[in-house]
Structure 1
Amino acid sequence: MKLVIFDCDGTLVDSQHLIVACMDAAFISLGRTPPSREATLSIVGLSLFEAFAVLTSPEDPDIPALIEAYKGAFHAERQKHGHAEPLYPGCREVIEWVAAEKAALGIATGKSQRGVRIVMTHHGLIDRFATIQTADDAPSKPHPGMILQAMAEVGAVPEDTVMIGDTTYDIDMAHAAGVGSIAVTWGYHAPEALLRSRPNAIARTYGEVPAILKRLWGV
């Protein structure tokens, strides 16, 4: 069984404006100066505790309150503005192509189960994914737990599994799990940083992904 696992934020959907707005709101609610936009985007992909630990420090006593404030802001923004997380161009077509190739589809994300299911249901794609691994289910990236659990759920082995993501955390997680990796450049980490993580391939548009997958699958 071939398995293709996608990161969510920065890979499937463009959620940067929503994430930055909610991060700013979380810090401001505690009377603290928000991080720069670049700093916030650099931690996209991590689970919330690890993200705030990078933005502040692991010992920061405000982290639990920041997490709750971020979650509250995210919920409020969704209620106010609807679904501000559009699919990237070509994303839907590649998901349908992978499904047509009889490969299993998965998601590994720092989002919660509730969050990722809301956004994928909104886009009408939730039923395409055989496995969804989140911050609720496994340690934060780059720990390999999400990928290992995804493979176990669908019966895939490392040599038939490919992780697709836009951050070094995704590529490092793939290395830790012993699976293939495709770094995409339309997300939140710079191409130079992605190259240093040594992915098996780099895609600059979704249109390049099917050919890369065929090459990695040896077909």
Structure 2
Amino acid sequence: MKYKLVILDWDGTVMDTVPKIVNTINRVADQYAIPRESEDDTKSIIGLSLETALETLFPADAHRSTELAQAYKHIYKEVDSTPTKLFDGVEKVLKQLVDQGVKIAVATGKSRQGLNRLMVETGLESYFITTRTADEAESKPSPDMLNQIITELSVAPKDAVMIGDTTIDMEMARQAGIDAIGVTLGVATSEQLEATSAMFIADEFEQLIEGLT
């Protein structure tokens, strides 16, 4: 393996949650009589911390972003029934990395509570040596999450890689001075990722091994 540390985004990278996120945001807009944005515009804010995402998507309602965020959390957990699942091959790849002595971490725009819940539901918690959420760091694309992780684990930037499905993830990695790998499983298209600093782009999760070796 090229790297000692692999850092993964969660939504749209490890788990197929993008349709549920988009649907939940649309339900929040409907609840507050805010015009829905296009699907592409809504997808474009995935990866940002929740309040930052809502402020970016609905600037005219930025003054009530905290209220919108609370509504989002309720709808996501209790109301919306859009199914979510791990992408094919996720656990197989994680096991292969751990077996080869690679450390694995998560850097996500999810809340701590949200990530912890999904870690338990998916049974993946034991694979990750550390995680950072939007509650503990500046919102992506600030490199804060990545800087915290590599500092905590005493890993040099050249020995770490960020894997994500958004141009926001790629920009965060660039600002942190670490390599980036894009996946086309979630938000960004191959063409969008090719326009970033991504050094490899995978269309399937299991293809990541090729980019990591």
TM range (shorter): over 0.9
How far off is 1:34 after superposition?
Answer: 2.2
Distance 1:156 1:199 in 2: 20
Distance 1:105 1:77 in 2: 32
Deviations 1:12-67 (A, max 9, x none): 00012221221112112212222222221111111112211221228732322211
Q: CA RMSD in A?
A: 1.7
Distance 2:185 2:18 in 1: 11
**Identity value in percent:** 35
One-letter amino acid of the structure 1 residue matched with residue 35 of structure 2: T
Q: Which residue of 1 aligns with 2:25?
A: 23
Task: Please list every run of 5 or more consecutive structure 1 residues that lacks an aligned counterpart in the other structure.
Answer: 215-219
Q: Which residue of 2 aligns with 1:69?
A: 71
How far off is 1:77 after superposition?
Answer: 3.3
Q: Which residue of 2 aligns with 1:52?
A: 54
One-letter amino acid of the structure 2 residue matched with residue 175 of structure 1: R
One-letter amino acid of the structure 1 residue matched with residue 176 of structure 2: A
Q: Which residue of 2 aligns with 1:172?
A: 171
One-letter amino acid of the structure 2 residue matched with residue 43 of structure 1: I
Q: Which residue of 2 aligns with 1:113?
A: 112
Q: How does 1:149-164 map to 2 (within 5 A)?
A: 149-164=148-163
Deviations 1:119-143 (A, max 9, x none): 1211111111111111001011110
TM-score w.r.t. the length of structure 2 is 0.93
Q: Is residue 2:152 matched to residue 1:146? A: no
TM-score w.r.t. the length of structure 1 is 0.90
Distance 1:58 1:140 in 2: 20
One-letter amino acid of the structure 1 residue matched with residue 208 of structure 2: V
Distance 1:111 1:5 in 2: 15
Q: Is residue 2:97 matched to residue 1:98? A: yes
Distance 2:144 2:65 in 1: 23
Task: Please list every run of 5 or more consecutive structure 2 residues that lacks an aligned counterpart in the other structure.
Answer: none
How far off is 1:147 after superposition?
Answer: 0.5
Q: Is residue 2:12 matched to residue 1:10? A: yes
Deviation beyond 6 Å, 4+ runs, structure 1: none
When structure 1 is superposed on structure 2, of 135-144 and 56-65 the one drifting more is: 56-65
